[in-house]
Amino acid sequence: MPGFELFGEEERKHINDVMETGIIMRYGFDGPRKGIYKSVELEKKITEVFGCKYAQLTSSGTSALTTALSALNIGFGDEVIMPSFTFVASFEAVLSVGAIPGLVDIDETLTLNPEAVRAAITPKTRCVMPVHMCGSMADLDALQAICKEHNLILLEDACQAIGGTYKGKSLGTIGNAGTFSFDFVKTITCGEGGVVMTNNHDIYVKCDGYTDHGHDHNGVDRGADLHPFIGYNYRISELHAALGLAQIGKLQTILSIQKKNNHILKSYLEQIPEVTFRTIPDVDGDSYTFLSWFLPTESLMRATVAELKEQGIYGGNFYWFSNNWHYVRKWQHLKYAHTLNNISEQQKTALYKLQTQDFSASDAIIGRCISTSIALSWTEEQVHDKGAKLAAAIKKVLNKEKVIVC
């Protein structure tokens, strides 16, 4: 997820534009800012590039999710169905609005299994939140059908899938709302930042106010604004938006390098019959930030991880099963409701239930999966070298295993 690899003159120029006026805040100071409105410019660009009607920048992907949930009127006691494999921010946002994260199994798309979603729906369910992990997408047709049937909201966490598409539409623009993260390791970065995208004017207006203390932005100045509801400060700064403006101009270049490198790497792994790949519901829509692949068993994958570490070539490969951040197995703080402040009894009860919930179907997938991240800075020779070494390590483990079986 490498937008920062292409930092250059363009980023410097946009940041310097802001520093020329010294107005780093996105609102107010209309005189001194001399027509420089980087946040407004970036929001417009996002609507054009990703094809949505409205975009509201935020301070992070996490605050984008919190903002979207609030604007969608999801709160106390409501259940939000989300996958067992995601980044912790997805459930943090749900908890922060008083709602209950309902974690369900994934399938080989590495995100929500539609059947598991269907089985998890209760009278309290208000929202389904697919997380388009590692650059590719959930089965959105199936999830949209479920949402329609049960009158549920579809909120796409597309924080990791900037530039990915599904049937011609940008990920993050298909549900009632969708979010991107522009943190430092994302496909395009603002340093820190995020966005809520929607085609619904009412949701957008709520996001606009919520991210800025509830200001309606209709006053002659900030002191004259009305506050139709209580909001928070989830604003992006002009410096971060400036960085994002430079980066969004590089998106197509980033995506095409990722695609090329991903294909080269895959050409090595697909020669091994035991290696299979993540299911991609729309193969043309992958953003190619990762190549996610499986081995037939968890023990083979564990042996491969050990072999890659032994050879000093594990870097850039993510074995999510033993990673503390991205998979339910290690989320002890969630399962034991370790929060700093009091949370509702409903939330606590739901979190404690995670201690015994059966995630064996997810384990059977994540335990066999590695996602190999794709860099932009690799030379063609380096990608070939990485592919050859990775394939050789996998073959070594598979051969050793065959010898043991014999």
Ligand X SMILES: Cc1ncc(COP(=O)(O)O)c(C=O)c1O
Binding site for ligand X (CB under 6 A): 60-62, 86-87, 89-90, 131, 157, 159-160, 181, 183, 194
245 neighbors 156 (Cβ within 8 angstroms) = no
Instruction: Tell the smallest beta-carbon distance from residue 193 to ligand X (Å).
Output: 7
Q: Based on CB atoms, which residue is closest to ligand X, 105 or 401?
A: 105
Helix (H, G, I), strand (E, B) or coil at 406: coil
Instruction: Tell the smallest beta-carbon distance from residue 52 to ligand X (Å).
Output: 18
In whole angstroms, what is the distance from residue 57 CA to residue 235 CA? 7
Instruction: Tell the smallest beta-carbon distance from residue 69 to ligand X (Å).
Output: 12
Instruction: Tell the smallest beta-carbon distance from residue 93 to ligand X (Å).
Output: 8
Instruction: Tell the smallest beta-carbon distance from residue 123 to ligand X (Å).
Output: 27
Q: Based on CB atoms, which residue is closest to ligand X, 90 or 304?
A: 90
Element (H, E) at 93: helix 89-96
Q: Based on CB atoms, which residue is closest to ligand X, 159 or 269?
A: 159
Q: How far is CA 79 from CA 39, 49, 114, 382, in A?
A: 33, 32, 16, 46
Q: Based on CB atoms, which residue is closest to ligand X, 60 or 304?
A: 60
Q: Based on CB atoms, which residue is closest to ligand X, 154 or 393?
A: 154
The conformation of residue 113, written as its DSSP 8-state character, comes to -
Helix (H, G, I), strand (E, B) or coil at 134: helix
Q: Based on CB atoms, which residue is closest to ligand X, 93 or 146?
A: 93
Instruction: Tell the smallest beta-carbon distance from residue 60 to ligand X (Å).
Output: 3
Task: Report the DSSP beta bridge partners of residue 54.
Answer: 198
Q: Based on CB atoms, which residue is closest to ligand X, 184 or 352?
A: 184
String of b and e for 146-168 (b: at least 16 CB within 10 Å)?
Answer: bbeeeebbbbbbbbbbbbbbbee
Instruction: Tell the smallest beta-carbon distance from residue 319 to ligand X (Å).
Output: 17
Tell me the longest C-alpha to C-alpha distance in the chain: 81
Q: Which residue is nearest to ligand X (CB)?
A: 61
In whole angstroms, what is the distance from residue 134 CA to residue 289 CA? 6
The β-bridge relationship of strands 290-294 and 276-277 is antiparallel
